[in-house]
Amino acid sequence: MDKKKVASFKKNLSEEKVRLEKELREIEVGNLNQSQSVTSGENSYEDHFADSGTATFERERDLSLDRNARDILARVRQALDRIENGTYGICTHCGKEIDLARLEALPYADLCIVCKKKEEGW
């Protein structure tokens, strides 16, 4: 892959990394605030039920966001490592070049489309 192309992917990935790290910090701060605000009030059963239902929902949403962001961050870091050691854009499974269009859509892709489809059982 030509150096300019790699440099532009590196820029995008670095920005994505910064964004994800910020997002994860915000999620952590949010979780902290949430657990501190949990107090045992004298709510009626119904109020309590509604509150805990909402809290559970939000917590689950945060957790899945958290997992998602962490997962993507790990992949972004791996992609940056591959840029450093010159293997960026090469499928980690079969060693063929990953389609440029695929990398543009998903700069942290580590599998070519053929291997990805196999992995997902298509």
Contact region with Zn ion (CB under 5 A), list: 11-19, 25-33, 60-68, 93-101: 93-101
> Smallest distance, Å, CB 79 to Zn ion?
15
Among 20, 69, 91, 109, binds Zn ion (CB under 5 A): 91
Contact region with Zn ion (CB under 5 A), list: 24-32, 49-57, 76-84, 108-116: 108-116
Contact 75, 20 (CB under 8 A): no
Kindly report the three-state secondary structure assignment for every residue of the chain.
CCHHHHHHHHHHHHHHHHHHHHHHHHHHHHHHHHHHCCCCCCCCHHHHHHHHHHHHHHHHHHHHHHHHHHHHHHHHHHHHHHHHCCCCCECCCCCCECCHHHHHHCCCCCCCHHHHHHHCCC
**Residue 118 touching Zn ion (CB under 5 A):** no
> Smallest distance, Å, CB 112 to Zn ion?
3
In terms of CB distance, is 61 or 118 closer to Zn ion?
Answer: 118
Among 18, 32, 63, 94, binds Zn ion (CB under 5 A): 94
Window 19 to 58, contacts with Zn ion (CB under 5 A): none
Among 5, 19, 93, 102, binds Zn ion (CB under 5 A): 93
Cα–Cα dist 2/120, whole Å: 30
